[in-house]
Each structure stands twice: as structure tokens, then as C-alpha cells.
Structure 1
Amino acid sequence: MKRASGGGHLTPFLPGLEKLLRDPEVSEIMINGPANVWVERAGKLEPHPAPDLTSAWLHRAAIHIARPLGLDPAARPILDARLEDGSRVAICTPPASPEVAITIRRFGGRAFSADDLVRLGSLPEDILEAARSTLAARRNILVSGGTGSGKTTLLNALIELLPEDERIVAIEDTLELRIDRANCLRFEAGATLSDTPVEIRDLVRHALRHRPDHIVVGEVRGGEAADLLQALNTGHGGSLTTIHANNARSALSRLASCAMQAGDALPWEVTCRGVVDGISLVLHVTRREGRRFVEDALEVCDYDAAAGRWITKPVWGGTEAAREEEQTHTPKEVKA
């Protein structure tokens, strides 16, 4: 993803938002149009008065962000970029939107360890131990959740559980992960010197040539899932990725569906078998009433092709669905 000027450079173009752009407690700034601003603090949305923020100022801000990228909002009304401070910015301008809309997702100054998340009540200790055992056994973890649920925060914490003397190759759309390792290679999608951008799928394939012990994909969205599953099933255990999903079980179906988007996709049942062989543990994070926490954890045991369902085992009490799953599947159905 291309990089625009830092958040500090935006203050002259966004009157009334100067304090927000400097406030470390603000994780997201959402501008819906002139004088219509919302912010997220501590997981809660609240309006922010900005009477001086006019349509003209928003157009100027959009141009200021787009110019370093060699882009023109008038010609390209939808724009995604990364600011110099690591924040992500999404812009939509007319005619794709009635007014200029700008959303800035900021990243806090602190990275939380797994122990921090346990202490804060975001990660049950039983789930942490299951994750630690899974990675130590060179098996793989899928983190699922909705937008802003804390997937990246949990992924950062899990990366710290990987052995210090082993090599990590991390692949992201935007460099958000905080990986403090000497032997870590980081790839970012979107970079290009021509009209053809580098895709996540290109980088997953390329990563295998850099001798990774562990592969970390910031988020799976499409056909790159097929290549990732191939990698997970051919000697790159102890790897991690995230995916958007409503719950832990649907995350498995989403992963399989993404893999099916590949032009050379295998049949559905074969793909599902690849998911079972490639993913051992699913951790689902959620955001509720201002809190972000791991809501569910499922061990992936098998796929029942005849019934079209995943056979899983809850690692922790979790949700009602997980408890029901534990009751309905007999030991014969659950593969060790």
C-alpha cells in the first residue's frame, strides 16, 4: 500500500480535529462529511463537534493525501493509503459518495504481549496455553473476528510465542504487525513499479523461496488462501493468519471459500480437507461494549463431507455454540 504524509500534516486541512490527530487514546477517526465526525475511544464510538470542517476543507485534505501517491481524487474517487505514522486512511469522494468521506485508523503506541492480554481479561489463560501448545507442536492457528475486533493485536501477541531462533516471513496488505525479531522478513502487498500491483497471493508464493520456518499472513481475503494452505501442509508448521468471520466455525468455511477463489482451485471437499490438515486451532475475537476479547476457541478435528459440517472440539467453555458442539459429537466422530 502506498504511503502518504503523516497524520500531523493533515491538521491544517482538518480544522477542529487537531487534538484528535494527536490523541493516543483515539483509535479511529471517521469523517462522514462536513461537520460530521465520529471517533472511537476505548472501543466506543462518540460524535465530535467540528463545525468548521466544510466540504471545501475535506476536498483539500483528500487532495493533500492523494498527491504524494501521484493520484487525483477527481479521477480516482476511491483511495486507500498508509500515513507515515503507520495509520491507514480510506477516502471516498464524489461521485462515488455524496460528500468526501475520510476514515483514519490509527495504531496505539503499545504492543500487548500474550500475558498482557491475559491480565487485561482479553485472553483466557486456558486459550493461551492451547495456543502455546499448538505452536510448539508446529501446528497452525487461524484468528477470526470482525472489523476492529482485535485480530491484529492477538496476532502480534501470538507471534511472540514463536521460537526466537526461527525465521518468520510476514505478509501484509499494510505493515501493521510489530515484530521485534532480527530474523524476520516482511513483505507488503500493493507495491508496484508498473500498472500491475503485487498481490498477497504473489507474496505467499514468493515467501516459500525465502526459507521460512513460520509464515504469518496479516489477513486472508481471497485466492491466496489456496497457496497458504499448500504452504501450511508442506512443512511450515507453527504459522498464523487472520480472517474476517462471524464466529470460529464460520471462519473455517470462509477460509475454504477464499481458497476456492483461486483460478486453479481444487474441489470443495478437497479444499475442506486441506483446511482440516492445515489449521489446528481457531481463535475468535469479538468487540462488545467497548471490550475486545477472545470469545471462542475451537480445535479443528475433521470435516464431515456427507453432512457438510466441520467437526470441532471446544478448547474452552466459550460460547453456547461451542458448548453445544462438545455435547453433540461423540468421541468416535472426533479424530485425535
Structure 2
Amino acid sequence: MFGQPSNPSHTLPVVNNNPQQATRAPENKSATDVARQLSRFSLIQSEVMQAIEPAVVIKLSREELEKRTFEAVGEIAYQHQFPIGAQEQKKISDQLVNEMLGLGPLQCLLDDPDVTDIMVNGPNEVFIETHGKLKRTDIRFRNEDHLLNLARRIVSGVGRRIDESSPMVDARLADGSRVNILIPPLALNGTCISIRKFSDNKHSLQQLAALGAMSDEMASLLDVIARCRVNVLISGGTGAGKTTLLNAISFGISPDERIITIEDAAELKLMQPHVVSIETRPSNMEGLVAIDQSILLKNALRMRPDRIILGEIRGAEAFDMMQAMNTGHDGSMCTLHANSPIDALIRLENMLLMSEAQLPLTALRRQIASTINIVIQIERMRDGKRRVVNITELVGLEGEQYLSQDLFHFEKQSQDLEGNISGQFICSKTLPRFAEKAHYYNLTKQLKSAMGIHA
């Protein structure tokens, strides 16, 4: 099926899929040279794909497929007298293997640990987020069909389909990365693929503090909050780091507790030995009924949880989460999208109003004030760094207004010419209302130290 590897002495440049060079334009290459290179690559690719039988591919290990593909690329290049060296031969064969087993041109971005998000806006635009900043790459798909075939391969891997009758799909890759796909006619400029990469790095609060996301005292306070079973709401924008922070806070949960996590796409990776992770299920064209977070949350209450962690509140499940926090599952945590602690409470109100409970606003605010103890606001700032900008304690109600106090907040001081922001984390030096809980768990000393109270 495959020929013997060749040993030509010249090189054939190939399409640049190296994310480290993604923003660099090719040097000293005319449009004719680039077109010739692409034409050669397309010819090699076409002939290799014809030579490799799909029935054989699925039986081979990746290592064996890489070896045979490398040999086939060399033989075809030799037959056509293309000047190609071993290094370029390896690049081409790797790209072809990625087409068969991986995500084609995007595979190198998935393999790059510095890339956190991949955004494809049609066949000719691929952006990445790295170190908190968006960058355009020079990665391209051959055409819309090439991109659409990749999208279909992704969704078929999770038993879904994407077509004009179902043009939007949420999926998850084998490594846990989240994928959203939108195709024409909804996407006007071609198929759009958004990938939020799964990170297996489980940062502790101390590690986040070392990265500048918070101060050491804030890390110590959040550890107390987790250990003394305080109800927590984490708020922030898209990509602010809410899930990363939630994972870090969860380090403080006792290994003796039974934890149930509920998410649309499983991202939380808790370290405790007794964790049950459950995930929503969308409906499909074959009549599969959707299972949303509200249904899973009601079922979780029958599973004898000590704590419930809800990946993100989006709608009517907010009422069930409030009920759970108020009925013996204290220490539960959840996240939502909002721009400040007060905005988070207002958004939570709106979600409660969407529920079937039909309670008056005053009653809802009273329930929120008696349920949520701490709101943590995390923000991705203009310099790309993620910082915890508020740790706010919800004290109660005064009339119809929430009473709250910032235990810590970030105060911006300056910004240099490169956009780097400097500032400091300010402590209120006030003992929080949950100090009695901290005393019950023998955490008073740590709490006072975190808040700068030495008396």
C-alpha cells in the first residue's frame, strides 16, 4: 500500500501551522512561490489520501500510521521529483495524520499549551488567545468544504450532527475541550468553530496568587471560605477564569464530603475522592429529550450531596440552587456572568424571576440575602491578566437594597506604555459576618491573619 521512504536532498516549504510563528508573514517568498508550494502540497495530500485505505487506517496505531504516511509522502515526492527533505517530509506527513485522526490545521494549536482559545471565523481566519491576548494566525483551510468537513467530524465524534436543519452544536473533544460550531446560513462568512481548550493544570489558590491573580492574604481568606462551608457565587465575564478559580477554591473542601458537580460541559476537575460529575444533554433531531441543569439539580438533591457545585447558572435552575443552599447543602458554589458583585445579584434576581416560583421581588431579595454569603468578582483586564477584583460579603437587606461590604478589592494605580496594569489588593481589615462559622471550624486564627487583624 505504501512505498519505501525516499532521501531527497532539498526542501519543500509547507503551509505554516506553527502557532509560535502564527503572526509572522512569510519572508522573501513571492505569491507565485507560495501558490506553487500549496499546489505541491495539495497534490501530495491527494495522492496519499488515495493510497491510504480508511478501513486500514482505523486498525493502525497512531505511530504506525505516522510511519506509513511518512513513507508515502517520500515516495510520492520522489515520483514527482519534488525537492523535499526529511524535515519537510515529516511536517507534511504530520499534517496528513492530523487530517485523518486530529483536527487538521488546528491540531498544532490544540497541542500548544500556551493557547487557551481557538476561534475560526470561516476558512481564511483563525484567531487564538494566548496569555490573555487575541492574535491572528496565518493558518488557513483549503476552502469552506475543508472546514465544514472538520466541523462534521467533530460533532460526529459525540454522536451529533450538524446541517441546515441543526446549524448550531455544542460538543466536547476527547481531551475535554469545549467546542461551539455555527455553520451557514447562520454564519454568513463560513463555518465558525470556537474551542475553549481544556486545561489539566489544576492551579491552587497559592499558585494563582503567585501569578498575580490575588494576594496571599486573599488566597488564605478563600481557603477559609471553602473550609467553613460558606455559600459562594463567582462572577465574571467570558474567559475571566471563573472555572479556574472555582477549581482552586475547591481544594479546601474536606475529602470526607460527597460533592456533586453539574455542568453544561464538564470542566471542573476536583481533587476530592468522592465527586460525582453530571452533565446536561441537549435534544437532537432523532427525538432525544433535552436534560437541562434544572432537572439535574433536582435529581442531585436525591443523591445525598454534602455540597453541590453548579458550573454556571443560566436560567430557572437558579431557584433550585437557592433552595439547595438553604436546605442543608451549605458550602455550595456556582458561577454566573456579570460585571460586578451587585450586577451578579441583580442577574440572579432576574433568573429567579424566570423560575416557576413566581415570588415577589422583595421575597426573592430576602432569599438571596439569606443564602449567598460571598460574591467573588474575577476580571480579565486589558493587559490580559486575570485578577480577583472583589471579595464581597453580602450582609443582608436594608429596605429593598442589598447591604454588602468588600473584604478585599483591587485598586488600579497605573498602566505602562505596553498596557501592563499595576495596582494593589486592598484589605478592609474587617472581620466578616461568617466569623462564627470560622470559629466552629477552628479557623479563627487563619481568618484574622488573612484580614490583617492581629488583636
Q: TM-score range by the shorter chain?
A: 0.7 to 0.9
The gaps in structure 1 that reach 5 residues or longer are 1-7, 327-335
Distance apart, 1:205 and its partner CA: 1.1
The residue aligned with 1:268 is 361
Q: 1:9 and 1:44, CA in 2 relative to 1: closer, same or farther beyond 3 A?
A: farther
Work out whether 1:44 is the aligned partner of 2:137.
Answer: no
The aligned amino acid for 2:410 is G
Q: 1:141 and 1:222, CA in 2 relative to 1: closer, same or farther beyond 3 A?
A: same
Work out whether 1:198 is the aligned partner of 2:285.
Answer: no
**2:98 and 2:356 mapped to 1: Cα distance?**
45
Q: Which has the higher contact order (CA 8 A, sep 6+)?
A: 1
Contact 2:183 2:192 in 1 (8 A): yes
The residue aligned with 1:147 is 238
State the Cα deviation string for residues 148-175 of structure 1 (Å, max 9, x = none): 0000000001111111111111111111
The aligned amino acid for 2:99 is P
The residue aligned with 1:21 is 110
Aligned length: 314
**2:316 and 2:141 mapped to 1: Cα distance?**
44
Q: 1:264 and 1:282, CA in 2 relative to 1: closer, same or farther beyond 3 A?
A: same
Work out whether 1:176 is the aligned partner of 2:267.
Answer: yes
Work out whether 1:226 is the aligned partner of 2:226.
Answer: no
Q: Which moved more, 1:54-63 or 1:128-137?
A: 128-137
The aligned amino acid for 2:166 is R
Work out whether 1:30 is the aligned partner of 2:119.
Answer: yes
Distance apart, 1:129 and its partner CA: 3.1
The residue aligned with 2:216 is 125
Contact 2:369 2:394 in 1 (8 A): yes
Distance apart, 1:9 and its partner CA: 11
The residue aligned with 1:295 is 389
Q: Which has the larger radius of gyration?
A: 2
Q: 1:276 and 1:191, CA in 2 relative to 1: closer, same or farther beyond 3 A?
A: same
Spell out the pairing of 1:47-62 with structure 2 (5 A cutoff).
Answer: 47-62=136-151
Work out whether 1:100 is the aligned partner of 2:166.
Answer: no
The residue aligned with 1:84 is 174
**2:370 and 2:221 mapped to 1: Cα distance?**
18
Distance apart, 1:125 and its partner CA: 2.8
**2:97 and 2:251 mapped to 1: Cα distance?**
34
Contact 2:389 2:409 in 1 (8 A): no
Contact 1:215 1:240 in 2 (8 A): yes
CA RMSD of aligned residues (A): 2.3
The one of 311, 314, 326 equivalent to 2:403 is 311
Q: Which moved more, 1:124-133 or 1:69-78?
A: 124-133
Q: Which moved more, 1:263-272 or 1:285-294?
A: 263-272
Q: Which moved more, 1:226-235 or 1:62-71?
A: 62-71
SS in structure 1 at match of 2:339 = coil
**1:9 and 1:200 mapped to 2: Cα distance?**
40
Distance apart, 1:52 and its partner CA: 4.1
The residue aligned with 2:81 is none
Contact 1:135 1:238 in 2 (8 A): yes
State the Cα deviation string for residues 179-224 of structure 1 (Å, max 9, x = none): 1222111111116795321110111111111111111111111010
The aligned amino acid for 2:108 is K
Normalising by structure 1, we get a TM-score of 0.87
Higher helix share: 2
The aligned amino acid for 2:356 is G
The gaps in structure 2 that reach 5 residues or longer are 1-94, 413-424, 429-435, 437-455
The aligned amino acid for 1:92 is L
SS in structure 1 at match of 2:151 = helix
Work out whether 1:66 is the aligned partner of 2:160.
Answer: no
Distance apart, 1:270 and its partner CA: 0.9
**2:153 and 2:362 mapped to 1: Cα distance?**
49
Contact 2:263 2:280 in 1 (8 A): yes
**1:316 and 1:70 mapped to 2: Cα distance?**
45
SS in structure 1 at match of 2:347 = helix
Q: 1:131 and 1:265, CA in 2 relative to 1: closer, same or farther beyond 3 A?
A: farther
Contact 2:126 2:137 in 1 (8 A): yes
Spell out the pairing of 1:272-287 with structure 2 (5 A cutoff).
Answer: 272-287=365-380
Q: 1:9 and 1:170, CA in 2 relative to 1: closer, same or farther beyond 3 A?
A: farther
Higher strand share: 1
Q: 1:319 and 1:234, CA in 2 relative to 1: closer, same or farther beyond 3 A?
A: farther
Contact 2:396 2:402 in 1 (8 A): yes
Distance apart, 1:31 and its partner CA: 0.5
**2:224 and 2:411 mapped to 1: Cα distance?**
22
Contact 2:104 2:150 in 1 (8 A): no
**1:10 and 1:224 mapped to 2: Cα distance?**
43
The one of 256, 260, 272 equivalent to 2:349 is 256
